[in-house]
Structure 1
Amino acid sequence: MASRSPDAEVSDPVDYYLEDMEMHGRAERTRDAYERVLRGFDEFLESRSTEPGSAGHRDCLAWLHSLRGELSPSTVATYATTVNRFYDYMTQVGAFEENPMALVMEEMDESIEKDPERRDVDVATMGEFLGRISHPLHHAIVLTLLKTGMRVGELCNLDCRDLRLSEPGLAGYDLDGRPQLDGRGDAMYVDSAPARGERYNGEIREESNKRKRSTVIPVDDELRCGLRRWLAIRPDTPSPAEPLFVSTAGDWGQRLTARAVRHYVRKYAEEMGWYEPGAGAGENVTPHYFRHFFTTHLRDRTGDRGVVKYLRGDVASDVIDTYTHNWGDQVRETYVEHIYRFD
């Protein structure tokens, strides 16, 4: 993923990271926001006579603790994510040996997702919201987000090969291209590899998949029906990657963008009274809200945090190997038995 190889020792890791962000096409406003956070983190480490490359998880915890008195919990979480991405990148290019923020983020995930200030929507009410969406594409993308908990960028990066449906009648679609789906029944494969600005499956991607590990997510009969309804009218596409979700608007047949998905969701959320400009994540229903909905409701129904974290792509290698090797019993059966229905 690196755009260049680092020197044996990077004199200014923050500068190095920001330069690579620029070469990857990140906007100046985004780079400025990252720099403010990373410079503040660097100054904190300097006060502890520590450099970013040698910091440990206790240094990261201490930095976050220092922020909590002056910043909101959501802002602290955003800052932590910024530093985590910085360390992830620097370890991938070989500038750092490890990411000390990774362990901290695993612990933070639970508290972030259980934010008590978020709008509380039960399954029946969410079903009413979904029932208002008649357009097959819009219905399919919202249903997919609700049923899988994937991020909007991950949804946009799905190709037809990432979907396996057992029922016949979908001539013209290659739904057998993923060996990872063999023997899994109806399922989706969400790869961790796609990255913004890089070629993947024959196409330069506009979004990155942010999950830690690739994941196989079961498809229940309700989601299968929604996807089949969409595939029945899906336009042809010029992309050799055969994206699963493509535009039916002005950019007809092109891969659906995260911006378009957010626009669709906002439109329907406003009609439901679930979106107000400036209200923030606590009140507004956005694509990311559906990930929160999935996590909360499936975790409450199963009582199995491990399965939910596997489906979200948030677990470490040893845990994900356990679920991968016994996927049918530990993932599919648990999912199919407990996943909520809207029809």
Structure 2
Amino acid sequence: MSSARGAPEPDDPVGYFLEDLTYHGKTDRTRAAYERVLRRFEAFLDGTEPASATHRDCMAFVHSLRGDVADSTVATYAAYLHRFYGYMTEVGAFDGNPMTLVMEEMDETVDKDPARRDVSIPAMRSFLAGIRHPLHRALVVTLLKTGMRVGELCNLDLRDFSVTDPDLEAAYALGDRPALSGRPDSIFVTADATVGEELNGEVRTAANKRKRGTVIPVDDELHRALKAWLAVRPDSPSPAEPLFVGTAEGWGERLRPQAVRHVVERYAREEGWYRTGGGADENVTPHYFRHFFTTHLRDRTGDRGVVKYLRGDVADDVIDTYTHNWGDQVREVYEANVYRLLP
């Protein structure tokens, strides 16, 4: 356990973590799910304190789950354990996170779900060809080309989109985020959006789940889709100037995640990719596009680090590496490997 000055030294680390989950506003259901997993891990350690557990102890625990629960449940349990160790390390109670290496190695085993619908790139091209509405097309192309979450999509403002395009630059105040300085043709996904809190002059109704802001390249296809949308985008009453706003109900108001889900569901149903009562392994939803992005870009690049950076779910040291070498290690890899979706 850490001896850093002021660091907590709880007798019951799991109880300490669960109490903090409550303080952070997590539901009783979420807290109970974490407690179930973490107490099972404690029992598996058989007397070894969680603070003293090694990555081999963690690997052995994950391995013990296989065959006992579904692969997706193994992944969930591992993610809970990773979050526990990450938090306890962050507050100084533990010296390190032994789950970091375990999660890296699990990418090739548990993270791939063979039961999930497998949509090929040609099939996705055909799907996009049937989406003519400029807003709907821009929403789907943005999700497919960036891998961002639906809440992150809805929280984008005009200032988060930097583009080299005289027409757009003349019509809109784009890309004035400091993080986009010197990084043209990019989208910035902030980590600061929180439900009920003001950001850029507007109280947000969706949260971004990134721990750090991420700069994602905009290729020519996403550029085209966003330009077609901005050509017809209604003016917004919000001082934040949302990138995506309503064109029917809530004219000019920031789109909410549920509205985006309805759009995707409509087209997925028409394609035969969505069924009422179908689960995540069957239905194509906005989250499926994140899975599509991860799977295809990782297979094409062989660079899990870049893909994790783009998804916004890497550790600080890794994200710093890619942030400081953004042009070489992110944009070049992305542009050389991102799939083509538009005619």
1:120 equivalenced with 2:118 (yes/no): yes
* 1:91 alignment partner in structure 2: 89
Q: How far 1:187 sits from its partner (Å)?
A: 0.7
Q: Give per-residue Cα distances to partners, 1:212-268, cap 9 Å, x unaligned.
A: 553321111111121122223334445443332334454454443333333332232
Matched letter for residue 174 of structure 2: L
1:58-90 CA distance string (max 9 Å, x none): 232222122112100011111222222233333
Q: For this pair of structures, how many residues does the alignment match?
A: 336
Q: Equivalent residue for 1:150?
A: 148
Provide the aligned C-alpha RMSD in A.
3.0
Q: Which moved more, 1:50-59 or 1:141-150?
A: 50-59
Question: Aligned pair in 2 of structure 1 residues 335, 124: CA closer, same or farther (>3 Å)?
Answer: same
SS in 2 for 1:124: helix
CA contact (8 A) 1:113 1:295 kept: no
- Contact 2:58/2:102, CA 8 A, preserved across alignment: yes
Partner of 1:140: 138
Q: Is the 8 A contact 2:18 2:35 kept in 1?
A: yes
- Greater alpha carbon shift after TM alignment, 104-113 vs 136-145: 104-113
Question: Does the C-alpha gap of structure 1 residues 103 and 196 become closer, same or farther in structure 2, counting only changes over 3 Å?
Answer: farther
SS in 2 for 1:296: helix
Q: Partners of 1:205 and 1:50 in 2: how far apart?
A: 44
- Residue 178 of structure 1 and its aligned partner are, at CA, apart by 1.7
What SS does the aligned partner of 2:264 have? helix
1:105 shift after superposition:
1.7
Normalising by structure 1, report the TM-score.
Answer: 0.83
1:50 corresponding residue in structure 2: 48
Cα distance, 1:142–1:69 mapped onto 2, change above 3 Å: same
Whether the 8 Å CA contact 2:8–2:91 is kept in 1: the answer is no
Instruction: Tell me, yes or no, if the aligned pair for 2:152 and 2:207 is still in contact at 8 Å.
Output: yes
Residue identity over aligned pairs, in percent, reads 66
> In 2, Cα distance between the equivalents of 1:255 and 1:20?
32
Kindly tell me: are residues 39 and 156 of structure 1, through their superposed partners in 2, closer, same or farther at Cα, counting changes over 3 Å?
Answer: farther
User: What is the match of residue 189 of structure 1?
Assistant: 188
1:189 shift after superposition: 1.7
SS at match of 1:90: helix
Q: Equivalents in 2 of 1:260, 1:61: separation in Å?
A: 41
Is the aligned partner of 1:234 residue 2:194? no
Cα separation, 2, equivalents of 1:166 and 1:327: 18
Match runs of 1:160-309 below 5 Å: 160-170=158-168, 171=170, 173-196=172-195, 200-211=199-210, 213-248=212-247, 250-309=249-308
Q: Which amino acid aligns with 1:138?
A: H
Q: Is the 8 A contact 1:164 1:185 kept in 2?
A: yes
Structure 2 runs not aligned, ≥5 long: 1-5
Task: Give yes or no for contact 1:186–1:219 (8 Å, CA) kept in 2.
Answer: yes
Give the unaligned 5+ runs of structure 1. Answer: 1-5
CA distance in 2 between counterparts of 1:159 and 1:42 reads 44
Deviations 1:254-301 (A, max 9, x none): 443333333332232222111234543333222222122222323333
CA distance in 2, matches of 1:84, 1:200: 29
Query: Which region of structure 1 is more displaced relative to structure 2, 227-236 or 197-206?
Result: 197-206
In 1: Cα distance, 2:240 partner to 2:14 partner: 35
**Structure 2 residue aligned with 1:104:** 102
Q: Is the 8 A contact 1:165 1:187 kept in 2?
A: yes
Between 1:261-270 and 1:70-79, the stretch displaced more is: 261-270
Contact 1:25 1:197 (C-alpha < 8 Å) held by counterparts:
no
Q: Quote the Cα distance in structure 2 between the aligned partners of 1:252 and 1:147.
A: 26
- Listed as ranges, the matches of 1:309-320 within 5 Å are 309-317=308-316, 319-320=318-319
**Does the residue aligned with 2:96 lie in a helix, a strand or coil?**
coil
Distance in 2, matches of 1:96 and 1:229, equals 51
Comparing 9-18 with 120-129, greater Cα deviation is found at: 9-18
Amino acid in structure 1 at the alignment position of 2:102: V
